[in-house]
A and B are shown apart, each in its own frame.
Chain A
Amino acid sequence: MNGETTLRVAIVGHTNTGKTSLLRTLTRDVAFGEISARPGTTRHVEATSLMVGGRPRVDLYDTPGLEDSATLLALLEEYRERGDGIDRIRAFLDSAAARGDLEQEAKVLRQVLDCDVLLYVIDAREPMLGRHRDELTVLGLAARPLIPVLNFTGSAESREAAWREHLARIGLHAVVAFDTVLFDPADERRLYEAVQAMLAPQYDLLQQLIEEREAAWQALRRSAAATVADLLVDTASAARRVRAENAAEMNAESAWLQERVREREQRCIRQLMEMFAFRSDDVVAERLAIENGRWQMDLFAPETLRRFGLSAGTGAVKGAAVGVGIDVITGGLSLGMAATLGATIGALWSTVDRFGRKLLDRLRGYVDLRVDENTLRVLAARELQLIDALLRRGHASLSQVELKGEAARAPWQGADLPAALRRARHHPEWSTLTAPGAPAPETERTAALHALQEELLQRLA
């Protein structure tokens, strides 16, 4: 492999301790192998490779569980005269037993001899038993670096401390806690660091792996926040114009808007599940309760004024950029050249026209139908809750994420919505719900999105 070394890691352990789960979580691959609560689910040695620098560099071998280590150990004892541990294992692998009842154990040992390091997976909810000692004795014969990995340490029944003590007494100190269901990136890092400590020649490779994982994790958090920010801006800016006194129209429009918001939330959830590489049916979302706020555009809010070019405050100076220059040019040219006057008048006219129409609408009794502020809070709460759950979810998890969004835990409770969302309220053209494919320049929307993304990141654990 053009001089590049590949690290080979065997995942071993008693049956049903979560070896395949560990692999799923480390590889972010929900489709790897097969997982069930029954013993002996994995019956072959299956391999997968961790990508480092875009290339497969760390091969992980998922082995069947060691089920009958007592018999295996007894057999290996019989080969005592054959030499050291590795020779004894070779002798066993050549024996008839390795093709019969102990075929699964033979597979494990064959793989163990072929690997650089062993991860010994332990269900930390179980007590340390004789079979564990037997298994460790058998694996010890292979003389490979071995790192005990305590699974299910997030469980209330975890006996992590007892396990650490037991393992220390038999000389295993580099013990890593790694819950495959309740994922913690710090645990993953510690796992790789433990391998790093045992395999000095592969230090750089593992360091690169650690750094890439860290970067991917940060990118994931930021993207998740950006995805929710997009949903919130889309929803906050959505507006439908209806006639206030026409109840039927109002109901129809409000139902229409609610459906769009629900669809939009589904899209956001789909995007999140996709970017976290989970199955999209791993989330059960309770139906979102939406209230439509009837919300009239405040004619004299600074944002409204600004939109119509009647800049209040700094907007004018900031907006000046190239604009003022051009305004003056066109104005200036008209000194000698009347031709360009049209453009200036045109711009002025469109401003008056739009502003005037707003005023007129209001007089005629039109209102803008919008999603109510509290709905936005609940929406934010639901999505933040989902991200939190997904960030802590191992790819081995078989349970579903439930999405409720309790209003009590909603952000911005009893306070104003963040400035970015308040601005979005004044920009119906930002919403892909009510103004799909609008050719509006998106730069202001993008600025609002970034501000909201940072705000949401603050709220993520």
Chain B
Amino acid sequence: MADASAQRVTTPFQRRLLAEAWRRIEEPGGSPVDVTHAELAAVAQGGEFETRVLNRAAALAQSADLPRALGGLQQAMRRAAWALVLFGALIGAAAARSTLNPDHAGLVNFYWVLVALLGVHTLALLLWLVSLPFSFSGSHLPPTPLRAPFEALARTLASTVAGNVQRSAQSTWMSVIGSGALGRWGLSALLHAFWLAALGGMLAVTLLMLSARQFDFVWETTILPEEAFIRLTERLQDLPARLGLGSLDRETIVASRRAADRPPPPGARRGWSALLVGSLLAYGMLPRAALLVISLLMLRHSRGRYRLDLELPGYARLRPRLMPASRQIGIVDADTGAAGARPREPRAARLPIARETAVLGIEIDPPATGWPPALAAGARDLGIAADRANLDSALQRLKALQDHPLSLLVVCSLTASPDRGMARVLRDCRAAHHGPIALLLTQRARTALRLDEAACREREGDWRRIATAAGFEAGHILVLDLDDAEELRNFLLARNDLQDAGGRT
């Protein structure tokens, strides 16, 4: 239990403890130090999510002096444990001193001494064994008199060095070390160490008194049969005999029965003393020492098995940063702007009076109000062009009509992207038709379903931009939702814009 490296964080358990303490510092108000560097380093070091969390915490905690706070706490707890052990030894010594007390006849009741020295210990041991299975089902330790001083000690320590770091170190200590398997085996180890020390104290004082004073051990009974004690003694010395500390024969036992008329045989003193020491060892110290070793091993095992609860918000929020799902590579083929320079065709055709209008739809669904739109009387239907071939044949038909004074109405949907492909279609329409040309943008309602208001306005602006660039006159671009019968009727009632525009010129 020597404590050379309290401040150095080396074992995986200590690293996890540190990460847990760091989480408690960060959780309420964020990290007190800048995390960027530590997180980048943790990602660069790689590994599982837990490894990265530990690396990150180790780097950050160092700067906040957290390892020292935890180390200090650990040291204080160890001192307290040693104090308890020392206290146990003293109590054991005192118990042995007060028990080995010959009566007025100079006799000592062997069984009285044995029960006084080992009785409480045995009872406590049995209770510990019985209660052990229960402690596995409950996840918590009960409030106990032994626990209370430890908590008080932790509180006192916390108050001596105020601040976030210390508080977190202390609450981590209490909830990690003081609970679950770690708490169970830690407290068990402490308990067995205490009893081992107490029994050690008893043994030391017993040996001292057996060496320096003379006791005549006897046994006595009032109502029990003599045979019972003889048998009991024989059974009792089975185990110490294996240690070479029990060699009372039947005659000596019988002769040691307390009697007023004769003292016990002087040869029996050595035998009874050996049995007393042997019982202390075989029934007291050895089981306790074995359990102490087991508890310490289990404690070590539990420490090895301790894992951070990575589902806690304090850890889970780190996952996207420490375990990113992706890593940006960056731009691999940069835009040179060549395609962005869209040629502008300065052509401002005026819309003359058009007796007839040809209507051409580009990549649209037939409107709910029917196709061709009832916008102009005697509109000529050039159809809806869904692909390049459709468009080319429609434009051919348009050319065949060139002897008529015809205006062309191109219908496009606002849901479509006004991209370069579309710009080319508009340019081709403009080029194919020498008469007046207008653009109608439909499906505004449907566009509004997909885009917010600003994006809708942007979309409309983009359409106007590519249309004017393609040679459409700004005044001859109108937005009218052909899916909306009401809107169409209102529009017709207010007279057709196309004709109006033509009428004015």
8 A Cβ contacts from B83-140 to A: 91, 94-95, 98-99, 116, 119-120, 123-124, 127-128, 131-132, 134-135, 137-140
Determine whether the beta carbon of A442 is less than 8 Å from that of B421: no
Cα(A134)–Cα(B420), bound, Å: 15
Say yes or no for A317: interface residue by CB 8 A criterion.
yes
- By beta carbon, the residue of chain A nearest B159 is A439
Say yes or no for B377: interface residue by CB 8 A criterion.
no
8 A Cβ contacts from A5-55 to B: 14-16, 26-29, 31-32, 36-40, 43-51, 54-55
Main secondary structure of the interface of B (DSSP, over half): helix
Given A37-B458, A70-B424, A321-B184, answer yes or no on A340-B175 (Cβ-Cβ < 8 Å).
no
Among the listed A48, A65, A227, which residue makes an inter-chain contact with B313, where contact means beta carbons less than 8 Å apart? A227
Determine whether the beta carbon of B127 is less than 8 Å from that of A68: no
Given A219-B319, A326-B145, answer yes or no on A48-B328 (Cβ-Cβ < 8 Å).
yes
* Distance of A421 from chain B, by nearest CB (Å): 18
Determine whether the beta carbon of B339 is less than 8 Å from that of A277: no
Cα(A271)–Cα(B264), bound, Å: 81
Given A223-B316, A275-B316, answer yes or no on A29-B458 (Cβ-Cβ < 8 Å).
no
We find that the number of chain A residues with CB closer than 8 angstroms to chain B is: 117
Q: Which of B54-62, B149-157, B469-477, B484-492 contacts A (4 or more CB under 8 A)?
A: B149-157
Binary interface encoding of chain A residues 259-275 relative to chain B, with 1 for a CB under 8 A from any of its CBs, else 0 = 00000000110011011
Determine whether the beta carbon of B327 is less than 8 Å from that of A318: no
Say yes or no for B259: interface residue by CB 8 A criterion.
no
By a CB distance below 8 angstroms, the chain A residues around B458 are 36-38
- Enumerate the 4 nearest inter-chain pairs by beta-carbon distance, A residue then B residue, closest first: A130-B387, A321-B135, A319-B142, A223-B316
Say yes or no for B143: interface residue by CB 8 A criterion.
yes
Among the listed A27, A29, A324, which residue makes an inter-chain contact with B131, where contact means beta carbons less than 8 Å apart? A324
By a CB distance below 8 angstroms, the chain A residues around B459 are 37-38
By a CB distance below 8 angstroms, the chain B residues around A100 are 338-339
Given A61-B332, A332-B123, A439-B171, answer yes or no on A130-B390 (Cβ-Cβ < 8 Å).
yes
* Distance of B213 from chain A, by nearest CB (Å): 19
Among the listed A29, A69, A226, A309, which residue makes an inter-chain contact with B326, where contact means beta carbons less than 8 Å apart? A29
Determine whether the beta carbon of B124 is less than 8 Å from that of A329: yes
Say yes or no for B170: interface residue by CB 8 A criterion.
yes
Say yes or no for A80: interface residue by CB 8 A criterion.
no
Among the listed B143, B155, B310, B451, which residue makes an inter-chain contact with A309, where contact means beta carbons less than 8 Å apart? B143
Counting chain A CB atoms within 10 Å of each CB, the highest count among B28, B143, B310, B418 belongs to B143
We find that the number of chain B residues with CB closer than 8 angstroms to chain A is: 107
Say yes or no for B378: interface residue by CB 8 A criterion.
no
- By beta carbon, the residue of chain A nearest B131 is A320
Binary interface encoding of chain A residues 211-240 relative to chain B, with 1 for a CB under 8 A from any of its CBs, else 0 = 001001001101110110010000000000
- By beta carbon, the residue of chain A nearest B133 is A321
Given A37-B451, A328-B123, A347-B148, answer yes or no on A275-B191 (Cβ-Cβ < 8 Å).
no
Say yes or no for A304: interface residue by CB 8 A criterion.
no
Among the listed A56, A317, A447, which residue makes an inter-chain contact with B140, where contact means beta carbons less than 8 Å apart? A447
Among the listed B325, B331, B391, which residue makes an inter-chain contact with A29, where contact means beta carbons less than 8 Å apart? B325
Say yes or no for B335: interface residue by CB 8 A criterion.
yes
Determine whether the beta carbon of A125 is less than 8 Å from that of B175: no
By a CB distance below 8 angstroms, the chain A residues around B317 are 271, 274-275
Determine whether the beta carbon of B313 is less than 8 Å from that of A226: yes
- By beta carbon, the residue of chain B nearest A47 is B329
Determine whether the beta carbon of A107 is less than 8 Å from that of B127: no
Determine whether the beta carbon of B146 is less than 8 Å from that of A68: no
Binary interface encoding of chain B residues 177-212 relative to chain A, with 1 for a CB under 8 A from any of its CBs, else 0 = 011100110011001000100000000000000000
Cα(A219)–Cα(B313), bound, Å: 11
By a CB distance below 8 angstroms, the chain A residues around B370 are none
Cα(A350)–Cα(B147), bound, Å: 13
Determine whether the beta carbon of B141 is less than 8 Å from that of A441: yes
Determine whether the beta carbon of B191 is less than 8 Å from that of A439: no
Cα(A123)–Cα(B150), bound, Å: 66
Can you list 27 A-B contacts (CB < 8 A)? A36-B458, A44-B334, A51-B327, A54-B47, A56-B327, A71-B424, A126-B415, A126-B416, A129-B386, A130-B389, A131-B388, A216-B319, A216-B323, A226-B311, A230-B312, A323-B144, A325-B131, A328-B124, A330-B146, A332-B119, A332-B120, A333-B91, A346-B148, A437-B171, A439-B171, A440-B174, A444-B139
